[in-house]
Amino acid sequence: MSHDASGPRVLGHAETLVQLQDLPGWEVVAGALHARFDAPDVPSAVGLVVDAFDEAELMDHHPDTDLRWRRVRFALSTHSAGGVTQLDVELAHRIESVAAARGATHLPAAAQQVELGVDTRDHTALAPFWRAALGYRDADDDGTVLEDPHGRGPQVWFQSTTTPASPPGTRGRLHVDVSVATLEEAAARRQAVEAAGGRLLDDTHAPAWWVYADPDGNELCVCTGFGREQP
């Protein structure tokens, strides 16, 4: 994915966690800051969204927002940079202020991101099929990531592999990635997966991700932002 080198700098995961010490209730998952608020009533929830976007307009930096009854969810990421920047941290602080003014309180963020990974030797052959089947669009310049233009479905990304394609009628090469915010949540998710019959296949990349298989051999990765920093 191409990004503007002259734009804001993407914060590393550890650096972002330091910034979040002043923002209790916010979590970082898969390159975005997440928080959920419970407002006293529906008008207050709508007012919180309006106030947050007033601040965002002043910054010319806008969040992804979901409003459901009294509950408001924000996800902040600098899309042009490809991750969390200081702009997102500043906007989170401003949202905190307007949320407090509206009497909104934090809910557990419970943030996660689900992605569908596809192993392939040639993503240019597969991407048009999945783009058409799902009604998705390219999320990057080279067609290795597809996204729902309506923001509802999980991303689909293509992972390069040198192994031959699976013959028709045999097991395919799709796997699900579930990214969570903390090592504690990852441990709880892994424990639940194992209790439900999951089999650990690979933990050599932990704590960045663990690879599991369900009883039929379908693969799932439990992922975090830890262990990904460049030395």
Q: pLDDT (tens digit, 9 = 90+) per residue, 144-156? A: 899 888 887 888 8
In the chain, how long is the greatest CA-to-CA distance?
Answer: 60
Angle, alpha carbons 89-90-96 (nearest 5°): 90
In contact, 231 and 217? CB cutoff 8 Å: no
- Joined together, the tokens standing for residue 179 give 């990214």
Every domain range in the chain assigned CATH 3.30.1360.20? 13-107
- CATH of span 13-107: 3.30.1360.20
- Joined together, the tokens standing for residue 115 give 């992605």
CATH architecture for the domain at 112-223: Roll (3.10)
pLDDT tens column, 87-140: 999 999 999 999 999 999 999 867 777 888 888 888 888 888 788 877 899 988
Mean local confidence (pLDDT), 194-203? 90
Every domain range in the chain assigned CATH 3.10.180.10? 112-223
Model pLDDT, residue 98:
96
Separation between Cα atoms, residue 188 and residue 174, nearest integer Å: 24
3-state SS, residue 88: helix
Mean local confidence (pLDDT), 203-229? 88
